[in-house]
Amino acid sequence: MTAADVSPSRTVPHARITGVLYLVIIALGLFSELAVRAPLIVRGDAAATAANIAGAERLFRIGFAADLIVFLCDVAVAALLYFMLRPSGKTLSLTAAAFRLTGTAIYGANLLNLLAPLLILGGSGSFAMFAPERLQALALIFLDLHRHGYDLGLVFFGVHCLAIGALLLRSISFPRILGVLMALAGLGYLIGSFTLFLFPESAGAVAPVYAAPLVGELAFCLWLLIRGGKRSAGQPAVDRA
């Protein structure tokens, strides 16, 4: 690896672009989860959920679009992080990108489960023959599938965060604390998802673990925006392989 391969003049612009995209991912992701799905979806109450969605259909569709933008940004971030972190380990960086892209593919396909309730509750076409109560129950089933599908994607994303954490710990372009925080973020995602799959009755109890991903990813995002992965004076030009 030559100094030119990791020149700050090449890395900083990519880092700042990655930071902007990461900020978009965090902001829109929180919006779609906390401002859209959380107030509209009532777990275990199909009628209330259907009424909420019918009364805020435009907001529900905006949340869908926000998620779609998040996953588009995810693809770009996967490629940019590979470019920036490959000096710390080309194979590991490629592996991290592969896990993130796999998770993003799952998220994208899973969006169909989020769109299905709008089609079902509309009551048009083949759904017109069903009673409203059955349509409401079916819509809630698809929303539950969306929740589980999202957590399935988070398993792959959690492994991605662990790999990114390892790369940051090996890099001289980033403080080691970022590597620790991203590794903890990965563990948080894995704990939350596996708890939902294996012990669904305890999913609510482990919800606080998602504070680790929020802190870790936000810290990484802000570092990219503010410092742009710029090396401090006196640091060597080549990361540890």
* Alpha helix positions (H), the chain: 8-30, 38-40, 46-55, 57-85, 90-122, 132-170, 176-198, 211-226
Could you give the 3-state DSSP secondary structure of residue 131? coil
- Cβ–Cβ under 8 Å, residues 229 and 173: yes
Q: What angle separates helix 132-170 from helix 57-85, to the nearest 10 degrees? A: 20
- Cβ–Cβ under 8 Å, residues 117 and 53: yes
* Alpha helix positions (H), 123-198: 132-170, 176-198
Amino acid identity at 153 = G
Nearest to 162 by CA among 218, 105, 104, 100: 100
- Cβ–Cβ under 8 Å, residues 27 and 21: no
Q: Using the Cα atoms of residue 180, residue 184, residue 190 and residue 191 in order, give the sign of their dihedral.
A: positive
**30 token code pair:** 């929180």
Low-confidence stretches of the chain (pLDDT < 50) are 1-9, 232-238, 241
**5 token code pair:** 């391969």
CA-CA distance, 187 to 189, in Å (whole number)? 5
Give pLDDT, residue 126: 72
Could you give the 3-state DSSP secondary structure of residue 124? coil
- Cβ–Cβ under 8 Å, residues 115 and 198: no
Give pLDDT, residue 8: 40
- Cβ–Cβ under 8 Å, residues 117 and 143: yes
Give pLDDT, residue 106: 98
Give pLDDT, residue 234: 39
Which contiguous run of DSSP H or E holds residue 208? none
Q: Say what the pTM is.
A: 0.88
- Cβ–Cβ under 8 Å, residues 191 and 218: no
